[in-house]
Chains A and B, each alone.
Chain A
Amino acid sequence: DTAVSQTPKYLVTQMGNDKSIKCEQNLGHDTMYWYKQDSKKFLKIMFSYNNKELIINETVPNRFSPKSPDKAHLNLHINSLELGDSAVYFCASSQGFRDWGETQYFGPGTRLLVL
């Protein structure tokens, strides 16, 4: 069973288009995240939601809008795509409240290419 799944796996689109990436986790976790990994393999957090509430919102253009319909889903919508948005986008989830550190489990990634 896939713990954290993302669709689509690959997305090729033209500049200016709007696209969405979906993420679902079946781990019963409370917290979900979106990360962007650029060509240099640097993973950088974009957003975090806990129980459908936005918790972390890093410096990301407001063309990116996350939406969490329920705690098992966190979707990422991108408006007016630009060449620089080309990257691999990873969704992750973690349990949420704990006194010790969180282990985040990653989805397989969505490779976005903007032409």
Chain B
Amino acid sequence: EDKVVQSPLSLVVHEGDTVTLNCSYEVTNFRSLLWYKQEKKAPTFLFMLTSSGIEKKSGRLSSILDKKELFSILNITATQTGDSAVYLCAVEAWAGGTSYGKLTFGQGTILTVHP
């Protein structure tokens, strides 16, 4: 069975700190790894990673994938209170030999940023 494990489960920091969130996975027929941010409602898409070693960056957030070691990290620099959320890692696998992505989610990391 496909498995995605995130660590830490929760993290409390102060504004300005840098955080690193981890995601490791065991998936058959890996296709991509996605990071989502979930505040009060729907998960919102952050990054999709398909190739090893290529960093994706958006403002203060960046992410990298290691397909050999089967993990990804999400970095947030100079954290702000608005970064407080649950960060979800999901891995997409090929479903039954088709291109229909089946996402397996990790349990999430709850990030709390204090002023």
A56 → B minimal CB distance (Å): 6
User: How many angstroms between the C-alpha atoms of A19 and B72 in the bound complex?
Assistant: 39
Asked whether, in the complex, the Cβ of A105 is within 8 Å of the Cβ of B92, the reply is no
User: Pick the contact of A96 from B38, B99, B103 — CB < 8 Å?
Assistant: B99
Asked whether, in the complex, the Cβ of A43 is within 8 Å of the Cβ of B88, the reply is yes
Asked whether, in the complex, the Cβ of A48 is within 8 Å of the Cβ of B102, the reply is yes
Q: Is the interface of B mostly helix, strand, loop or mixed?
A: strand
Q: Which residue of A lies closest to B42 (CB)?
A: A106
Q: Which residue of B lies closest to A49 (CB)?
A: B100
Contact residues in A for B78 (Cβ distance below 8 Å): none
Contact residues in A for B12 (Cβ distance below 8 Å): none
Asked whether, in the complex, the Cβ of A102 is within 8 Å of the Cβ of B101, the reply is yes
User: How many angstroms between the C-alpha atoms of A103 and B92 in the bound complex?
Assistant: 9
Evaluate whether A56 and B102 lie within 8 angstroms (CB atoms) in the complex, with A41-B86, A41-B108, A101-B32 already known. yes
Asked whether, in the complex, the Cβ of A31 is within 8 Å of the Cβ of B108, the reply is no
B30 → A minimal CB distance (Å): 9
Count the A residues whose beta carbon is within 8 Å of the partner chain — how many?
29
User: How many angstroms between the C-alpha atoms of A20 and B110 in the bound complex?
Assistant: 31
Q: Which residue of A lies closest to B43 (CB)?
A: A106
Asked whether, in the complex, the Cβ of A103 is within 8 Å of the Cβ of B48, the reply is yes
Asked whether, in the complex, the Cβ of B48 is within 8 Å of the Cβ of A44, the reply is no
Please name the 8 residue pairs, one residue from A and one from B, whose CB atoms are nearest each other, closest first. Answer: A101-B32, A102-B101, A106-B42, A43-B105, A55-B100, A108-B41, A106-B43, A108-B42
